[in-house]
Amino acid sequence: MNCIIHRRAQFSASHRYWLPELSEAENQQQFGLCAKAPGHGHNYVLYVSMSGELDEYGMVLNLSDVKQVIKQEVTSQLDFSYLNDAWPEFQETLPTTENIARLIWHRLAPYLPITNIQLFEHPELWADYRGNHMEAYLTLSTHFSAAHRLAHPRLSYEENCQIYGKCARPHGHGHNYHLEVTVRGEIDPRTGMIADLTQLQNLIDEYVVEPFDHTFLNKDIPYFAEVVPTAENIAVHIRSLLQAPILETGAALHKIKLIESPNNSAEVYCDKPETLTSRLVQGQPKLATV
């Protein structure tokens, strides 16, 4: 029987985004505060996912052996280090979250049957790498607060109560929504980036957080005048709002995950970039509704 296991590790390190071929002004324009000397630090959290058949002892791998491999090949070298100087590869490609994840994969792959490397730079930013050349995934998380009412506009109050229960009450109710936006792209061989983080964050703020925050979704967001603002439908709408703008950054929107409460969440995936590009060229809608 095949099974996937995960091992957590952590290390603390500093880094700086700085390219010597650029002037100080160009570095600041490219990397913002991350270009400031002497750098800045993070408490990185690493998850190594591995796949294999269960042995007679009920294990895919001996976790003590896994722990030692991760320590020897990764954490002992990176913990309390200045990443730019820790590994020679960071002289060629900067130690961004996505590039660190890629290099950790290549350090561990000779010893472990890896399926995914997930690296958290902090709780609101993390990268996934799955061994696909220079392609990686980057996730930004944020939040907004909003109220909604679950009621189909063509049904009576009684009918809506049968479907949605208390959520159909006329004055609605609110949530502190947690939003995760995952983009996919090629790691730039020099900057180490999939896309500009500041630009991505600005797009999420512009298209989602600012318009949605502290609203009554049914009344303040025109889309939900006729569409019931379930977590699923909100996630689909956010996908449609972000997919084309993010494509213009050089990355592609991969997934939207919306956490309505600790008990309820929804996630939707996106078309491949070439599919979206074809639609835009042909003048078709950016996304079919579901």
For residues 117 and 141, state if they share a domain: no
Q: What is the CATH number of the domain that holds 277?
A: 3.30.479.10
Indicate whether 239 pLDDT > 50: yes
Q: pLDDT grade, residue 272 (50/70/90)?
A: low
Last residue of a domain, one of 131, 164, 189: 131
* Catalytic one of 26, 214, 226, 248: 214
The whole-angstrom separation of Cα 257 and Cα 180 is: 5
Q: pLDDT grade, residue 1 (50/70/90)?
A: confident
For residues 37 and 167, state if they share a domain: no
- Other CB atoms within a 10 A radius of the CB of residue 211 amount to 14
Pairing of strands 173-186, 40-53: unpaired
Q: What angle do CA 33, 196, 46 make, to 5 degrees?
A: 80
For residues 107 and 235, state if they share a domain: no
**Active site annotation includes 42:** no
Indicate whether 277 pLDDT > 60: no
- pLDDT digits over 180-202, tens only? 999 999 999 999 999 999 999 99
**Active site annotation includes 167:** yes
For residues 119 and 154, state if they share a domain: no
Residue 5, burial from CB neighbour count under 10 angstroms (0-12, 13-18, 19+): middle
Token code pair at residue 220 = 């303040």
* Catalytic one of 89, 143, 161, 167: 167
Sequence-distant (6+) residues with CB within 8 A of 124 are: 140, 141, 142
Identify the pLDDT of residue 91.
Answer: 95
Last residue of a domain, one of 77, 105, 131: 131
The whole-angstrom separation of Cα 164 and Cα 159 is: 9
Indicate whether 154 pLDDT > 80: yes
Structural domain containing residue 235 = 132-290
- pLDDT digits over 64-109, tens only? 999 999 999 999 999 999 999 999 999 999 999 999 999 999 999 9
**Active site annotation includes 122:** no
For residues 21 and 121, state if they share a domain: yes
For residues 92 and 189, state if they share a domain: no
- pLDDT digits over 28-54, tens only? 999 999 999 999 999 999 999 999 999
